[in-house]
Amino acid sequence: MSEAPPPDDADASRAARRATREGLGVALATSAYGVSFGALAVASGLDVWQACVLSLVMFTGGSQFAFTGVIAAGGLAAAPAAIASATLLGVRNVAYGIRMAPVIGGSIWRRAAAAQFTIDESTAVSLAQPTPRARTLGFWVTGIGIYVGWNISTLLGALLGDLLGDPKAYGLDAAAAAAFLALLWPRLRQRQAIVVGVAAAVVAAVLTPALMPGLPVLIAAVVAVVVGVFNWFASPGPAAGFAEPDDVPEREGLP
């Protein structure tokens, strides 16, 4: 009869299993939103194969919706504006890449492969984990799971768009936002985090009708940067249960 693993090993195993479950759950929720994108892309005038190529190559939901939204409003003549909007929304992935580089580690080929899966959800799931192995598992399970599911659901949405009708009627327009909020909510324990979340949401909501797609998101991100740099609204002492881990070196200097 085998002996029980040491407590540290048991905790690490539990963390790894939890990271896998969280990654798969987020992947399922976010992938469902791909049906909405496929349907809206075809309704915007793109062919089925064009919608699928966007998901395969671009693979960032915000940028894809910004691109198709501008195309729907202005046709092919609006392609430069659509590309600019998609690029603005994709800028945040550069910061994610810097943040995730020490977590991914390995060779340049490993990091190059990880770049395709470095998105909001994979970064959030990974950095929410307490151990290095769990963070790595969370990243790969979430990123690959969403990539596969998103592309399959994009194809389904593009093929069945006319039969589905308005994707909003099924609540698919809120699936990705709900999944990300579920990851963010447990971290809203301190006054500073709550202020940043509320202020950024208000800024983005107010500016969205007035500015081109992409700019409200970037301006809202400035709110978080300014509050973090000046340490406004910070509560004394570390946040219970959410202290920065000591084994991720970039948290000591890089974003």
Residue type, 41: A
pLDDT at 125: 92
* Burial class for 47, CB neighbours closer than 10 Å (0-12, 13-18, 19+): exposed
Tell me the C-alpha to C-alpha distance, in Å, between residue 108 and each of 101, 104, 127, 139: 10, 10, 21, 17
Tens-place pLDDT, residues 153-211 = 999 988 887 666 665 666 655 555 665 566 567 667 777 778 877 888 888 888 878 87
Query: Coil, strand, or helix at residue 188?
Result: coil
- Using alpha carbons only, what angle is made at residue 180 by residues 52 and 243, rounded to the nearest 5 degrees? 135
Across 73-78, average pLDDT:
59
Residue 219's pLDDT band (cuts 50, 70, 90): confident
The Cα–Cα gap between 251 and 18 comes to 23
Across 137-142, average pLDDT:
94
Locate tokens 């198709």: which residue? Answer: 68
Instruction: Quote the pTM value.
Output: 0.67
The length of the chain, given as a count of residues: 255
Tens-place pLDDT, residues 13-64 = 898 999 999 999 999 988 888 888 888 888 777 888 988 998 998 888 777 7
- Asked if residue 143 has pLDDT above 90, the reply is yes
- Asked if residue 149 has pLDDT above 90, the reply is yes
- Asked if residue 235 has pLDDT above 70, the reply is no
Across 140-144, average pLDDT:
95
CA dihedral (37, 41, 47, 48) in degrees, to 10, reads: 10
Tell me what percent of the residues of the chain surpass a pLDDT of 70: 67
pLDDT at 1: 47
Kindly report the average pLDDT of the chain as a whole number.
76
- Asked if residue 134 has pLDDT above 90, the reply is yes
Residue type, 168: K
Contacts 24+ apart (CB under 8 A), 164-173: 164/35, 164/39, 167/35, 167/36, 167/39, 167/40, 168/36, 172/32, 172/33, 172/35, 172/36, 173/33, 173/36
Across 64-75, average pLDDT:
69
Tell me what percent of the residues of the chain surpass a pLDDT of 90: 18
